[in-house]
A = this chain, B = another copy of it.
Amino acid sequence: MTKIKESSTNFENKQALSSECMEVYAANLIGGQWTLAICCYLINGKLRFGELKKKLPNITERMMTLQLRKLEENKLVKRTVYAEVPPRVEYELTESGQRLKPILGMLEKWGKEHQLLMATD
């Protein structure tokens, strides 16, 4: 009786997926609290759980697990478990995740410009 749905950021029961435009669908996939941060760090290559955790000092393990599982479920991240002791799990972006790269680039550029605007006023 494993509980799965705790933090699935509701794609199924909310409006976004069903009736809204594709941008909203996309935003729901990548707009989660830690989603983009994780993707940013994975875009340069695979990372282990602990390595990723180090880059996100403020995230709890619990949240990281939940977010990574969601990302995996949404096929943005691939999770590979190595049957070793001590355990090793590696996370990497999928093809689809990689294709976010140009979008991340534009977001970064837009963010910089916008931050400037927010400041000079």
Contacts and interface: CB of A to CB of B under 8 A. Distances in A.
Interface of A: 14-16, 19-27, 29-32, 35-37, 40, 56-58, 74-75, 95-96, 99-100, 102-104, 106-108, 110-115, 117-118, 121
The 9 closest A-B pairs by CB, nearest first: A31-B31, A26-B111, A22-B111, A15-B58, A26-B107, A22-B108, A27-B36, A23-B107, A25-B111
Summarize A's interface: helix, strand, loop or mixed.
helix
A110 B75 contact: no
Contact of A114 (B96, B106, B110): B96
Contact of A40 (B24, B100, B113, B118): B24
Contacts of A110: 26, 99-100, 103
